């Protein structure tokens, strides 16, 4: 018998856009230009956009990150990524940009680095487990290779 009082606070491992990090933490990546996927909503979102995003019903942090570029405040972005990783231990965390590939893939690769994937392997890890189109530009790839 299933306990109906139990609340699943993380993503389903097989849900669309969900990346399992080496620690087992689950983070969902997505494009904000696409409809919100069916199912539970995030408890925390990290929005990576060049301009301030519209308000959402859940807690969200905005990192100014123009399309095809790098974060405007790299130290602030690193802090936001560390918070997202920490919260992913027991919350539904979503990382999202406009299309869900370049900036989202770069951020997911940085989360993988924080979770123990070597920098030189993080882009391949995200391309294998999230999207083969993740991390779109050479400078995004270089950002991951130097992320600490």
Token pair belonging to 124: 């391949």
The CATH number that applies at residue 117 is 3.90.190.10
pLDDT at position 9, please?
79
| Portion of the chain with pLDDT greater than 90, in percent | 92
pLDDT tens digits, residue range 19-37? 999 999 999 999 999 999 9
Residue 6 in this model has a pLDDT that exceeds 60: no
Residue 3 in this model has a pLDDT that exceeds 50: no
pLDDT at position 8, please?
55
pLDDT tens digits, residue range 39-63? 999 999 999 999 999 999 999 999 9
- Do residues 20 and 129 make contact, with C-beta atoms less than 8 angstroms apart? yes
Instruction: Classify residue 14 by its DSSP letter.
Output: T
pLDDT at position 4, please?
34
Q: Please check whether residue 55 lies inside any domain of the structure.
A: yes
Q: Please check whether residue 8 lies inside any domain of the structure.
A: no
Q: Please check whether residue 62 lies inside any domain of the structure.
A: yes
Residue with tokens 């231990």: 89
Q: Please check whether residue 7 lies inside any domain of the structure.
A: no
Q: Please check whether residue 27 lies inside any domain of the structure.
A: yes
Give mean pLDDT, residues 111-124. Answer: 98
Dihedral, CA atoms, 88, 99, 140, 27, nearest 10 degrees? 10
Domain that holds residue 41: 18-146
pLDDT at position 148, please?
86
Mean pLDDT of all residues belonging to the chain: 94
| Residues whose CB is less than 8 angstroms from the CB of residue 13 and which lie 6 or more positions away in sequence, other chains included | 20, 26
Q: Please check whether residue 4 lies inside any domain of the structure.
A: no
pLDDT tens digits, residue range 62-83? 999 999 999 999 999 999 999 9
Give mean pLDDT, residues 90-103. Answer: 98
Token pair belonging to 137: 């530009």
- In whole angstroms, what is the distance from residue 117 CA to residue 45 CA? 22
Residue 130 in this model has a pLDDT that exceeds 80: yes
Q: Please check whether residue 12 lies inside any domain of the structure.
A: no
| Residues whose CB is less than 8 angstroms from the CB of residue 142 and which lie 6 or more positions away in sequence, other chains included | none
Domain count along the chain: 1
pLDDT at position 24, please?
97
- In whole angstroms, what is the distance from residue 143 CA to residue 92 CA? 26
Q: Please check whether residue 13 lies inside any domain of the structure.
A: no
pLDDT at position 2, please?
35
Distance (Å) of CA 27 to CA 1, 70, 139: 28, 21, 23
């Amino acid at each position: 018998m299933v306990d109906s009082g139990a609340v699943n606070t993380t993503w389903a491992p097989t849900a669309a856009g969900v990346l399992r990090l080496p620690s087992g933490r689950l983070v969902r990546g997505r494009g904000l230009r696409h409809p919100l996927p069916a199912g539970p909503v995030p408890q925390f979102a990290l929005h990576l956009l060049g301009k301030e995003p519209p308000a959402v019903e859940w807690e969200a942090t905005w990192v100014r990150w123009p399309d095809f570029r790098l974060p405007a405040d790299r130290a602030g972005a690193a802090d936001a990524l560390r918070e997202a990783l920490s919260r992913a231990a027991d919350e539904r965390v979503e990382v999202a940009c406009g299309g869900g590939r370049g900036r989202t893939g770069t951020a997911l690769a940085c989360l993988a680095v924080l979770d123990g994937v070597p920098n030189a392997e993080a882009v391949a890890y995200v391309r294998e487990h999230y999207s083969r189109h993740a991390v779109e530009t050479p400078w995004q790839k270089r950002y991951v290779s130097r992320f600490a």
